[in-house]
Amino acid sequence: FVQTRLLCNKIGNPPANVNVDQPPAATDKVCKIDRYDAHRTLPSCASCHDQLDPIGYGLENYDIAGRYRTHDDGHEECVLPDKGELPGQGEFSGPGQLARLLVASGQLEACFTQQLLTYAVGRELRPEEASAQAALLASFKAEGYGLQRLLTHYTTDDRFALRQEEVAP
């Protein structure tokens, strides 16, 4: 979610021979973090897990209901790391520090406008639409990051009112 929805980074698909709906095979590793780390030792898995796992480690102290914990459920010997890393940005502990790193990255605003335009046009943006995104991003920043102003700017722009008809291939 952080990589794809907040930063608009692409994460590759898993290898064709991996069934992502099947739980990992049983291992002798009791601790969840050790099982996660095993993914990163396999070259076919590491390219994606290197981008995902470090972020998850910094949030692992919160269970599915958001309760704070210091160890794996049912495994007192499995201390959770309480430290994660946003690749290319730095280390963090918990959602507050992650949020500060995300804001400091300068990527949130661009990704937000990309997500908005992708939703509005109902498809991935094309290279020729980069100028529309850049204009929307510039107005978003210039007007103090107000969502209402951003939506007004987008819907009153000629690009919105005069959309080109899709041409069949």
Estimate to the nearest angstrom the gap between the alpha carbon of 34 and the chain centroid: 23
pLDDT tier for residue 50 given thresholds of 50, 70 and 90: confident
Contacts of 120 (CB under 8 A, 6+ apart): 154, 160
Q: What is the pLDDT of residue 163?
A: 64
pTM for this model (two decimals) = 0.79
Estimate to the nearest angstrom the gap between the alpha carbon of 167 and the chain centroid: 32
Q: What is the pLDDT of residue 25?
A: 60
Query: Is pLDDT above 70 for 42?
Result: yes
Rounded mean pLDDT of the chain? 86
pLDDT tier for residue 49 given thresholds of 50, 70 and 90: confident
Query: Is pLDDT above 90 for 98?
Result: yes
